[in-house]
C-alpha cells in the first residue's frame, strides 16, 4: 500500500524523480512565482461529456509526489486516494502511466499488479503503463536496465515501450548516445510488437531518419507531446499509417504555435472525417495545465483569480479537447467529438 508514511521513507527517490521531471519539462513562457491555491481547486467541475477519457501519457507517481510536496498534510494519503478523489465522476476511464527513468524504478510493479486485481483502490479506473528510458537519461542505459524493461514488457498491464527518443534542446545525454539508445530500444519494441511512445524535441532530421530506418510502416507509434514543425508531423503521418500525434495542454499556450498549426492542417485536409484527426489526448502530468481551464474555474471560484494550480492531472483533458475543437472551427467538431475520436485512437494505438 502506498501510504503517506511509506512514501516518506522513500523521500530521496521521489525528490530525485521530481527534480528529473522539473528539468525535463520546463514550462514554456515566463515562470512567475504564484501563491498556491487551496487544494480543493484540484477537484475540477464536472465537464458535461459522455465519452470516457483516456489519458495516453501521464506520470502518475511524480504527479502524486508533486501533490504531496505542494500540499503537505493534504487530504489524499495514497496514490489511490488521489486518483479516486480527483477522477471519479469526471469520466476518466483509463490512464497510461509512463516509466522512463534509468535505472528502472521497481515500484512500477505494485501499481501494475494492483490494477490486475480489479479491487476498490482504483474504483473502476483502468491502469496501464509503458516503460522505456527517456533521451535525457540515455547515458544511464545499461544491459541491466534493458533486462528490467524486458521483464516489465511481459506484464499484462504493459501496453508499450516508451517514452524514448531524442532531445537536442537540453542535450542532457550526448547526441550520439541518445541515437544509439533510441535505436536499441526501437529494435526491442519492434521485435516484441509493442507500441512505441516517442519523445522528440529539436531533433527533427534524426528522429525522422531513425524511425523510418528502424520501424516497420504499419507499427503503432505515439509521438508524445508534439511541439515540433507541422511539416515533420505530416511526413511521419504520411509514412506511418498507424502513427498518432499526442496533444497536451501545451497546445493552449501562446508560446507554442506549431501544435495549433498542425491541428488546423489535419482538419483542413478532410474537415468532416474523424479519421483525419490522428491525435491522442494526454496530460504529461504533472505538467502542461491547459491555460483555458482557468476561465472555467474562476467563474465558479473567484478566489482562484490570479493564482495557478501547482500540477496537472487527467481530469483536465476535456479542456484540451475543447481547445482543439475551437482550432478546427467547424460546427460538427465540438469537445465531445474530439474526445471520442481521441478515445478511438487510443484503442488503436494501445488497445485500451
CATH topology of domain 56-350: TIM Barrel (3.20.20)
Tens of pLDDT, residue by residue over 238-248, are 999 999 999 99
- HSE of 338 in the Cβ direction (CA atoms, 13 Å)? 27
Q: Which helix (H) or strand (E) holds 281?
A: strand 279-281
Per-residue pLDDT reduced to its tens digit, 122-179:
999 999 999 999 999 999 999 999 999 999 999 999 999 999 999 999 999 999 999 9
Q: What is the pLDDT of residues 7-62, one digit of tens each?
A: 332 333 443 444 444 434 444 444 455 689 999 999 999 999 999 999 999 999 99
pTM, 2 dp: 0.91
State the Cα–Cα distance between residues 311 and 287, nearest whole angstrom: 6
Q: Are 168 and 203 in contact (CB under 8 A)?
A: yes
At residue 3 the predicted structure's pLDDT band, cuts being 50, 70 and 90, is: very low
% the chain with pLDDT above 70: 89
Domain borders along the chain are 56-350
d(CA 284, CA 179): 23
Q: How far is CA 199 from CA 100, 113, 166, 202, in A?
A: 11, 27, 6, 10
Return phi, psi of residue 168, to 5°: -100, 5
Amino acid at each position: 500500500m502506498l501510504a503517506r508514511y511509506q512514501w516518506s521513507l522513500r523521500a530521496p527517490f521521489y525528490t530525485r524523480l521530481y527534480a528529473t521531471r522539473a528539468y525535463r519539462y520546463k514550462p514554456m513562457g515566463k515562470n512567475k512565482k504564484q501563491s498556491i491555491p487551496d487544494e480543493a481547486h484540484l477537484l475540477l467541475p464536472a465537464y458535461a461529456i459522455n465519452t470516457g477519457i483516456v489519458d495516453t501519457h501521464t506520470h502518475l507517481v511524480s504527479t502524486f509526489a508533486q501533490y504531496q510536496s505542494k500540499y503537505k498534510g493534504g487530504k489524499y494519503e495514497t496514490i489511490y486516494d488521489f486518483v479516486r478523489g480527483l477522477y471519479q465522476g469526471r469520466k476518466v476511464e483509463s490512464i497510461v502511466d509512463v516509466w522512463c527513468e534509468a535505472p528502472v524504478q521497481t515500484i512500477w510493479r505494485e501499481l501494475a499488479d494492483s490494477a490486475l486485481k480489479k479491487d476498490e483502490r482504483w474504483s473502476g479506473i483502468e491502469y496501464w503503463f509503458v516503460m522505456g528510458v527517456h533521451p535525457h537519461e540515455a547515458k544511464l542505459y545499461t544491459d541491466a536496465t534493458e533486462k528490467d524493461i524486458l521483464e516489465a514488457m511481459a506484464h499484462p498491464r504493459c501496453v508499450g515501450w516508451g517514452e524514448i527518443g531524442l532531445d537536442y534542446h537540453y542535450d542532457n545525454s550526448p547526441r550520439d548516445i541518445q541515437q544509439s539508445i533510441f535505436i536499441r530500444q526501437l529494435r526491442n519494441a519492434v521485435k516484441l510488437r509493442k507500441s512505441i511512445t516517442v519523445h522528440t524535441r529539436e531533433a527533427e532530421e534524426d528522429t525522422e531518419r531513425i524511425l523510418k530506418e528502424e520501424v516497420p510502416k504499419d507499427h503503432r507509434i505515439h509521438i508524445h507531446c508534439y511541439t515540433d514543425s507541422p511539416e515533420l508531423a505530416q511526413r511521419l503521418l504520411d509514412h506511418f499509417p498507424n502513427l498518432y500525434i499526442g496533444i497536451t495542454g501545451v497546445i493552449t499556450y501562446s508560446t507554442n504555435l506549431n501544435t495549433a498549426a498542425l491541428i488546423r492542417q489535419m482538419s483542413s485536409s478532410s474537415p468532416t472525417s474523424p479519421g483525419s484527426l490522428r491525435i491522442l489526448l494526454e496530460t504529461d502530468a504533472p505538467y502542461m495545465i491547459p491555460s483555458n481551464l482557468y476561465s472555467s474555474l474562476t467563474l465558479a471560484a473567484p478566489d482562484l483569480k490570479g493564482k495557478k494550480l501547482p500540477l496537472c492531472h487527467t481530469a483536465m483533458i476535456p479542456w484540451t479537447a475543447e481547445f482543439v475543437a475551437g482550432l478546427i472551427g467547424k460546427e460538427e467538431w465540438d469537445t465531445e467529438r474530439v474526445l471520442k475520436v481521441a478515445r478511438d485512437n487510443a484503442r488503436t494505438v494501445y488497445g485500451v
